Amino acid sequence: LIQRIRKMSAERTSGVRAAGLIQLGIGDDTAILRFPPTHEVLVTSDFSLEGVHFRRDWHPPGAVGYRCLARGLSDIAAMGGAPVAAFLSLSLPAKLPQRWVDGFLRGLLALAHQYGVTLAGGDTAQSPGASAAKILADIVVLGSAPRGQAIRRSGAKPGDLIYVTGTLGASALELETMYAQPKKKLDPKKPPAHFFSSRHFYPQPRLAVGRFLRQRGLATAMIDVSDGLSTDLDHLCRESGVGAQIFAGLLPRAEGDTLEHALHGGEDYELLFTASAYRKIGRSIAGVPVTHIGEIRRSSTRVILLGELPSDGRRSRKLLPRGWEHFATARRRP
Ligand SMILES: [Mg+2]
């Protein structure tokens, strides 16, 4: 399997941008990477577990592989960094068809190629448990950012404005639609026309937006929306020691989507950031829409949600973090 991964990886990601940093990739006891002394190394690790992050009967293998890497790339984007290398550890059931693994790798490597990321190592094992054996994929993504410039969660100040890229809730809406028709299996060979623009199956990590914000020194704090706005904004506020108010009417919802999804739906992989009110933030960055949704406050109540209109300020409520809990634990998603 490792030889196969090595071969597919070499075919699909040859001549990538980061090649100069990868002194040695798959094939030795360790990889060797050389980062310029002017840069810091960013490291993130993410699990993709069958039954928790994906279901084999819903998610085609290519989308599982793609999302596995997309989650790590989104974390690198949230720091304003550039991705360099990925390390993949796979635990697979003995009976898993080879074509599933190939599809998984093709999806993962297509995204790696798009962003010049080298698959530089990993490990494989057989999942225990015979017929109940599950697929587990763990990916470590390494990136880089100029020394001292990575954008942290902790820099938001009272008075800063809060922005979000793209739309919120689209992934949750797609999931809910799938749950509503559990018998209807997606045929991986005949994906619907909208499939590859799907926010759930093929989320686009916002690397160009993150890099732009870092290069211009615009963002005071940033996080990617992986668990849902209510949870991720709470993380950002906690790390910054501040509160926030957001306006329900300003949230960029996917067409036909609910406020609930925009607030609590997860896996949108958009960027949530804060910037000084004195810095101009365009309505779009690197072709991605950017929306002003609220303001950082000096407050002990973490996040306040205001009514449908900014003028409707008196209708406010405390917004508790109850973002995405994934398949295994989410009660409202049987
Ligand atoms: Mg993150």
Q: Which helix (H) or strand (E) holds 220?
A: strand 219-225
Q: What is the pLDDT of residue 320?
A: 83
| CA 168 to chain centroid | 13
Q: What single-letter DSSP state applies at residue 42?
A: E
CA proximity to 245, closest of 158, 166, 322: 158
Q: Token digits for 181?
A: 């028709």
304 CA → ligand 1 middle, Å: 22
* pTM of structure: 0.90
**pLDDT at 273 exceeding the cut of 80:** yes
Q: When comparing pLDDT for 255 and 233, which is higher?
A: 233
CA proximity to 324, closest of 271, 269, 267: 267
75 CA → ligand 1 middle, Å: 4
223 CA → ligand 1 middle, Å: 6
**pLDDT at 196 exceeding the cut of 80:** no
70 CA → ligand 1 middle, Å: 11
Q: Token digits for 6?
A: 């090595």
Q: Which amino acid is at 1?
A: L
**pLDDT at 140 exceeding the cut of 60:** yes
CA–CA separation, 257 vs 174, rounded Å? 10
Per-residue model confidence as pLDDT tens digits over 43-81: 999 999 998 888 888 889 999 999 999 999 999 999 999
Contact of 299 with 242, CB cutoff 8 Å: yes
Most confident region among 35-39, 124-128, 158-162, 318-322 by mean pLDDT? 158-162
55 CA → ligand 1 middle, Å: 22
Q: When comparing pLDDT for 316 and 223, which is higher?
A: 223
